[in-house]
Structure 1
Amino acid sequence: MANDPAFPPFPADTLPESPPSRPGPGWVETILILLAYFALQFGLGGGLGLLSQTLARAFPNAVPVEADRLVIVVILTLAGAAAITLALVTRRWGPLLRDGGPAGIGFTQPDGWQILFGSVLGIVAPLAGGLLTQLLAGDHEVSQAVSTLADNAHVGLRIALLPVAILVGPLVEEVLFRGALLALLRTRFGDGWAITVSSLVFGVVHLPDLGGLWYAVPNLVLVGAFCAWLRVRSRSIWPAYACHAANNSLATMAWFS
Structure 2
Amino acid sequence: MAYDDTSAFPPTNLAPPRRAPGVIETLLCIAAYFAMQFAFGGLFGGLSMQLTRLFPASVPDAPDRLIVVVILTLACSASLTYWLVLRRWGRARAHEAGPGGLGFNAPSGTYIAIGTAMGIAAPILGGLLTQLLAGGHEVSQAVSDIADKAHIVMRVALLPVVVLVGPAVEELLFRGALLSLLRTRLGDGWAIAISAIVFGTVHLPDLGWLWYAVPNLILVGVFCAWLRVRSGSIWPAFVTHAANNALATIAWFTATTS
**Correspondences of 1:192-203 after superposition (within 5 Å):** 192-203=189-200
The CA RMSD measured in Å over matched residues stands at 1.1
Indicate which of 50, 72, 80 corresponds to 2:46.
50
Q: Which amino acid aligns with 2:67?
A: V
Corresponding residue for 2:3?
none
Corresponding residue for 1:4?
none
**Aligned residue pairs: how many?**
237
Corresponding residue for 1:129?
126
Cα offsets for 1:147-194 (capped at 9, x unmatched): 010001111110010110000100000000000000000000000000
Indicate which of 115, 119, 139 corresponds to 1:142.
139
Q: Which amino acid aligns with 2:158?
A: L
Q: Secondary structure at the match of 2:107?
A: coil
CA distance in 2, matches of 1:67, 1:254: 16
Q: Does 1:102 align with 2:99?
A: yes
Indicate which of 244, 249, 253 corresponds to 2:250.
253
Indicate which of 134, 148, 151 corresponds to 1:154.
151
Confirm or deny: 8 A CA contact 1:25 1:103 kept in the other structure: no
**Correspondences of 1:21-100 after superposition (within 5 Å):** 24-94=20-90, 95-100=92-97
Cα offsets for 1:108-127 (capped at 9, x unmatched): 11011111110110110111
CA distance in 1, matches of 2:233, 2:182: 16
Question: What's the CA shift for 1:23?
Answer: 5.6
Q: Which amino acid aligns with 2:221?
A: G
Q: Secondary structure at the match of 1:86?
A: helix
Question: What's the CA shift for 1:22?
Answer: 7.9
Q: TM-score, normalised by structure 2?
A: 0.90
Q: Which amino acid aligns with 1:143?
A: S
Q: Which amino acid aligns with 1:87?
A: W
What percent of counterpart residues are identical? 65
Unmatched segments (≥5 aa) in structure 1: 1-20
Q: Which amino acid aligns with 2:85?
A: V
CA distance in 1, matches of 2:134, 2:101: 38
Q: Does 1:239 align with 2:236?
A: yes
Confirm or deny: 8 A CA contact 1:24 1:104 kept in the other structure: no
Q: Which amino acid aligns with 1:102?
A: P
Cα offsets for 1:90-118 (capped at 9, x unmatched): 11112210001001000011011111110
CA distance in 2, matches of 1:22, 1:167: 31
Question: What's the CA shift for 1:221?
Answer: 0.1
Confirm or deny: 8 A CA contact 1:24 1:187 kept in the other structure: no
CA distance in 1, matches of 2:49, 2:238: 35
Confirm or deny: 8 A CA contact 1:22 1:103 kept in the other structure: no
- Considering only CA atoms, is the larger Rg found in Structure 1 or Structure 2? 2
Q: Does 1:209 align with 2:206?
A: yes
